[in-house]
Amino acid sequence: MGSRRLSKASRASQDRVADANALAAETLGAVRTVQAYAREPYERGRFGAALDVAVATARRRIGAQAAVTAAAIVLVFGAIVLVLWSGAHDVVDGTMSAGTLGQFVLYALIGGGSIGALAEVWNELQRAAGGMGRIAELLDEQPQVAAPAQPVALPLPVRGEIRFEQVVFHYPERIDAPALEGFDLHVRPGETVALVGPSGAGKSTVLSLLLRFHDPQSGVVRIDGIDLRDTDPAQLREQVALVPQQPVLFAASAIDNIRYGRLQASDDDVRAAARAAEADGFIEALPQGYASELGERGSRLSGGQQQRVAIARALLKDAPVLLLDEATSALDAQSERAVQQALENLMHGRTTLVVAHRRQPPCCARTGSW
């Protein structure tokens, strides 16, 4: 019973420490917003409360751990006292020599020390089991989108014909509100189509389904006539380049962030992609040029510069299907014109879906709105 109690207390302690760490990481990641709203005292209070809960849980764990250790000590020394008491009577009665009693006591001390060490090891194992329980839950998670046992290979080279046929999709957290319902779309190979509409209309959902981040509840999404549910998601995503509205940069150098689009690309290819995305100038101006670290989430760059690095990454990937989710929303007018020219060159001969809020997005052959 004590072991189960210690295991539960260890798991709870790990959970509360993880909650406090997650809160600290979230707050530090949004430090500018916290400062802009002067919410430092509020965030200190939230973090302090999370630490108080973590400390209280740790105290309960330590109490359970102390109980297990105390029980082991009582048992060990109780056994030694019992040996001494019984042996002393035998020595007095003459049925046992003092040397034999000394041997028994020595063995009891050695065994007791070993049991005490085992009790400490057991406590550490229970602490580790608390963390391992969280890891096991993650390892046991089954992805909702997985490759079929016998995936159908996409035809190479991919032409880029896209079809949505009567697609219905609900996000798991919003079952009662369909993001797409009876949605049809046909994009011919090499065609550029813009999806225009208000926020929440389902434009980005179309891109997510095309990348097979989700599968529709009904209907079919096809590329080159192949149902995406029959393909390997990894092979599918190799044929698609995405420029998201909120660019994601890693805590790595500029050249490594761009090369993420095609890991085997040479330095010259990376620089060519950066020039095409109008990113070469500000990257060269960094202290170490392309070797400069961009900071966590690209914190050393402005929003427009981050977006141009993301565009350079997509340019480098050189995929037959291109997805632009408000790809120029963070650019100023001058940079947008320059990048737009690069995007027009990139779109040539590729199937492109552009998500936009403007009624007439630039460089689109056909516009669909709803």
Summarize pLDDT for 27-64 with one digit per residue, the tens: 887 777 787 777 888 888 888 998 898 888 888 888 87
Say if 273 falls within a structural domain: yes
> Does residue 133 sit in the same domain as residue 258?
no
> Does residue 187 sit in the same domain as residue 136?
no
> Does residue 117 sit in the same domain as residue 166?
no
Give the residue from 89, 105, 140 where a domain finishes: 140
- 129: domain CATH number is 1.20.1560.10
- 280: domain CATH number is 3.40.50.300
**Predicted local confidence at residue 369, as pLDDT:** 43
What is the pTM (predicted TM-score) of this model?
0.69
**Predicted local confidence at residue 294, as pLDDT:** 82
> Does residue 106 sit in the same domain as residue 194?
no
Say if 150 falls within a structural domain: no
> Does residue 100 sit in the same domain as residue 172?
no
> Does residue 187 sit in the same domain as residue 101?
no
pLDDT score of 1 more than 70: no
CA gap 62, 356 in Å, rounded: 56
> Does residue 306 sit in the same domain as residue 208?
yes
Give the residue from 140, 174, 204 where a domain finishes: 140
Say if 351 falls within a structural domain: yes
Specify the DSSP element, H or E, that contains 60.
helix 40-93
pLDDT digits (tens, 9 = 90+) for 159-192: 888 999 898 888 877 777 788 888 888 988 888 8
* Exposure letters 39-65 (e unless 16+ CB within 10 A, then b): eeeebeebeeebbebbeebbebbeebb
Specify the DSSP element, H or E, that contains 180.
strand 180-187
**Number of structural domains found in the chain:** 2
Say if 154 falls within a structural domain: no
> Does residue 266 sit in the same domain as residue 192?
yes
Say if 12 falls within a structural domain: yes
* Exposure letters 227-247 (e unless 16+ CB within 10 A, then b): ebbebbbeebbebbbbbbeeb
Say if 157 falls within a structural domain: no
> Does residue 116 sit in the same domain as residue 260?
no
CA gap 329, 332 in Å, rounded: 8
> Does residue 228 sit in the same domain as residue 105?
no
- Structural domain boundaries, residue 63: 2-140
> Does residue 212 sit in the same domain as residue 309?
yes
Say if 78 falls within a structural domain: yes
> Does residue 111 sit in the same domain as residue 235?
no
Whole-angstrom distance between the N-terminal and C-terminal Cα of the chain? 61
Band of residue 306 on the pLDDT scale cut at 50, 70, 90 = confident
Say if 151 falls within a structural domain: no
pLDDT digits (tens, 9 = 90+) for 57-80: 888 888 877 777 777 777 777 777
Contact 313, 342 (CB under 8 A): no
